[in-house]
Structure 1
Amino acid sequence: MAPRTWQVGALCRAIAESLDARFNPVAVRGEVSGFSRAPSGHCYFTLKDASGQLRCAMFRRAASLLEFLPRDGDVVEVRGRLDVYEPRGDLQLIVESLSRAGQGALFEQFLRLKARLEAEGLFDAGRKRPLPALPRGIGLVTSLGAAALHDVVTALRRRAAHVPVVLAPAAVQGAQAPAELVAALRALYARAATGELDVILLVRGGGSLEDLWAFNDEQLARTVVASPVPLVSGVGHETDFTIADFCADLRAPTPTAAAELAAQPRDAWLGDLARLQQRLRDVVTRRFDVASQRLDAAAGRLGRPSARAASQHQRLERQALRLRHALERRLREAAGAAEEGQDALQRAVQDRLAQAGQELGRAQLRLELMDPRLVLRRGYALLTRMGGEVVSSAAQVRTGEALRARLADGEVDLTVAPPRLI
């Protein structure tokens, strides 16, 4: 018999219906390859094993329920229905749920432990402590062969090379890992008690639920809570969560992020220190300037007694000279006058002499008031070098120099001492 002739679309629909009736719903286990998430929210990937591969599509509604984003290489279990994508005639699996392979029982165990510890208050935000801004030392728990060790050391060397790091190695995967992690933490707690460490990092790289299972251990959780200093958990990738993350004072999305949270950049602290140093220098400079101005003003008001006395003496001599010239001029004028004006001239000369005598007396009194000895009696002293040179400024002398202080009742020899800041 001649075969039936199909329209392409009709044949695709018939195949799809046959698949649906024969296989759906279906559960498939395989390795994720080519996982991508479109802007629409739909996810596309391929499931494969050693003998085959199957295209998969997970629409936005189902994708929004994912507890983690699969990565290439993850072994997962999916549930869904087989279908035919008619525009291309491709067989595809419409995925309705996705989980890591074999994680069902483990995940339920994880949820039960999480709920019990949370009810006990081990996750309470009130017991979480802030990280120190300037740690004296950082403790680190991870495996010697882990990539996380290299990532953390590189970040700490870049940001705060001056901060010492104490490594307590431990297995981070396998049956022996929980006990080794607990022992490593307790070793660091003993050193933290002496003040050597101010923060501890508990880190490892990403992996499957089985890979990270050591960090879901109850004894490890209680040991993390007992840390005497803030503890940062950096286990897995950003989408991975463990019981240790909930118990730690702070959870970091990656080991590198844990190191960056624990140690602020050295350059930032040096910049802040330089700014504070400049502010202090400015304040001190301003205060010195103000004090210098006040000192200059006081010195100007006080003046030097010897200089003021000399100035008054020069002024008195000039007045006496002008008086003598005036008298001589009057006498010359009077000598040429007539005989009958002699009496008037004598009276004028006598009046002027009397006036000049009064002015001279007042000038003499002012000169006496400016006598340096009167100033010295008020408690001042006149400083001179041994050669007689007057000292009027602290800048003129040097430490150890011999000076002479003239007081009201005698002289005292002095030696200059080092200056004192006021």
Structure 2
Amino acid sequence: MTTISLFGLQTFLRQVVALNFPEALWVRCEIAQLNKSRGHVYLDLVEKDEAENEPIAQASAAIWQNTLKRLQSKLGATNLNPLLQAGVEVLLRVKVEYHERYGLKLVVEDIDPSYTLGKLEQRRRQLYEQLLAQGLMGKNAQIPLRPVLQRIAVISSETAAGYQDFLQHLGENVYGYAFKTTFFAAAVQGVQVEAEVLKQLRVVQRQASRFDAVALIRGGGAKLDLAGFDSLALCQAIADFPLPIFTGIGHDVDETLVDLVAHRALKTPTAVADFLIQHNLNFEGQLAELSQYLRYAASENLHEAQLQLLSNVQSLQSAPSLLLARQKDQLQRIAAELPLTLRYQQREQWQKIEQMEQICQLLSIEGTLQRGFSITLREGKPLSSANLIQPGDVLDTQFKDGTVRSKV
């Protein structure tokens, strides 16, 4: 039975690694954890299964102090630091080393920032398509702004320079507008951005009636610093938020996904402050225009009323004489027409009298006898029926030219 010591085995493995990996390699991986100690950076690297997002490989790596200084000089600290964050996918040039006591370790010699930026852009495009599919673009922008925006919930980092600039800009506005800001602390870069900003949005939402709007702000920084704002969960929360959200994340060229779903995306925190001031100034201008219009309208109405009053006074002054003149004219017309009217009415009455006389003559006994009728009398009284006559009665029958007596 062949045996070997542990040291011998580890030495053999070191030789195998040295023979098979004589040159440094470019390795794609994700930084799972990062620690700094005595100028060195120690990394836990992983590769995850795309389907289940579970680690399928893991290794330890180190960036020695001299290499870290060289990378900072080459890339600049503002560009390098965002790369060295947990959760960031990186492309590292590593030298594979095996130590008898400490085992396998990858020593980082270089880092390619373009790979990380490319992965972030690819992920960003995928999330952008999801936002479009879910109809979240422009949703928060549909919330109508209140005429005056004074009560502002500010989500930012207390140490962010942009936050102080924002407060100073609001406080020193030349119009003397008063703003009430309430601060809600959250990380504005790194892997904690999504969780902390979401937490503070929920806090603000529970007391939404206290605020007119939300300002999500941070200072300037490298492009990789903005990766935390390309978050689907954060975009969904902002799109559905009951208050308008203004972003001032501090970049001039690139837009994050949060900018695309916010009510208004502004370049910097001071630009957010300028927007709030200008919005209130516009409202004050509208009030001034309305006040001017009301003064003009009141003046016009007063002028018209004065003219109407003057006209009424003149009318009242001239009304009695005009009325008297009209009454005098009417009396003169009546006086002129009265004789003619009386003669006409007198003629009509005479005609009616003559007609009545003719009717009376026609209806009189003489008129009746003249028309060929006769009247039978008994004892001087006219008889209207034959049934009234008895035998032996003496009757007088009167004609137009005489009377005949007879006995029944």
Task: State the TM-score bracket (shorter-chain normalisation).
Answer: 0.3 to 0.5
TM-score, normalising length: structure 1: 0.45
TM-score, normalising length: structure 2: 0.46
